[in-house]
Chains A and B, each alone.
Chain A
Amino acid sequence: MSRPEDILPPDLFYNDTESAKYTTSSRIQHIQASMTHRALDLLDLRHPSLILDIGCGSGLSGSILSAEAPPHTWIGLDISASMLAVALERDVEGDLFLADAGQGVPFRPGTFDAAISISALQWLCNVESSEESAGGRLKRFFDGLYASLRRGGRAVCQFYPKNEVQRGMVSQAAIRAGFGAGLLIDDEGTKGAKTYLVLTVGGGDLNGGDITGVVSGMEGVDVDDSRRRAQGRDRSKRGVVEKKGSKGWIMRKKEQMEAKGKVVKPNSKYTGRKRNIAF
């Protein structure tokens, strides 16, 4: 199956027709909701928070944040005016911005408690003009995201990497921006595999600022420790940090996973009015 981001730029792919189709599909609604819940679990927010939603689209992910009790408050960025028009029709609670995440994050330092991005980051790797590069766009995005989060803040980005190279490029850009980073993959090896990039900003009270504590506290999550072994006990090194897992499946997976430095999760159950905004 061809990937939409290989066909068209996002603002053209998500035109009025596609945006409406996307948002009304009950299959898509269901998948986006379950991934957003998964991301929320990983964020582990203790208070009603201010959350940035990158590639918020028509607000399917944001609506989940608003439905928490008490609700979170979110601000969404999206590059598609058609998607945002659908969000307006749906009367979502979050504030919406027409913006390209590859141009940065226009908020002052320490604004957000947390950030989520559901099914959007793979688009950032695409370059539409000769003046920019995928690396440059990823850098501006992650540098801006890092600065806009408060110390101790977290971001969870579910995305569909095209291949391991792209997955590595995205994770490395995040780490270079200063984040502590871990990858978590649900239903790995299946057609429904879901990749979550879990990012932490140091300086808070979060288990030393790495994701070990985030993941180890979660039911059904096992953590691969290959990177840890590869690095010896050097925990000061920023990047992917794993905790020793002891389940039998890790033994089976070890060889495959060795040196990838990944956090791995086995199969799980997580498995109106038409408007036009012409700018």
Chain B
Amino acid sequence: MKILTLNFLMCARKACKSSSDAFPLHPRDVELEIVETDINPLFIRNILPRVEWAALRAMCNELGLPQLSETQPSCTDLFSTENLDPDATDSEPTQTLRDLHNLLVQTCIMEGKLVCGNCGHEYAIKEGIANFLLPSHMV
């Protein structure tokens, strides 16, 4: 599971829907892997405004990954200024863009669990797949 995905995931239980502690889920006992993927600059640009930066910083802390800048990069930080048309395919990716790609898309949780900060439920991750099936009494 990509770190990007973890940044969008929340506890599935109905009771946790309205709790601010149900996001982000907390990774525990995880194994990380870098999965090499082609960089997709326009995707990063599209998704960046939707990333919860504070939660991402907290996740990096919990995972022991390098600290992120305090402020969220903006879309203009992703491409070199030489080419101002961001849709131009020859626009040079900046180091910021490469770092975001590396963290959000290439860094993946392969094993471990995700814990809800509100109800304490643990979601297991095996071979990168998280089990979000809830027993019926927990739905």
Contact = CB atoms under 8 A, between A and B. Distances in A.
Interface of A: 47-50, 70-73, 75, 77, 79, 84, 88, 93, 95-100, 103-104, 106-108, 110-111, 113, 129, 131-132, 150, 275, 277-279
Given A70-B40, A73-B40, A129-B136, A111 B129 contact: no
Contacts of B132: 77, 97-99, 103, 106
Given A95-B1, A108-B8, A108-B10, A103 B133 contact: yes
Interface of B: 1-2, 4-5, 8-12, 14, 23, 37, 40, 42-43, 45-47, 50, 52, 105, 124, 126-134, 136, 139
CB-CB nearest 9 A-B residue pairs: A106-B12, A48-B43, A99-B132, A111-B8, A279-B131, A47-B46, A98-B131, A95-B5, A96-B129
Contact of A277 (B127, B133, B134): B127
Contacts, number: 92
Question: Which of B2, B11, B43 has the largest count of A CB atoms less than 10 A from its CB?
Answer: B43
Contacts of B105: 73
B139 A103 contact: yes
B40 A98 contact: no
B124 A279 contact: yes
The prevalent SS among residues of A at the interface is loop
A264 B37 CA distance: 40
Contact of B14 (A72, A104, A275, A277): A104
A179 B12 CA distance: 21
Contacts of B37: 93
B103 to A, nearest CB: 15
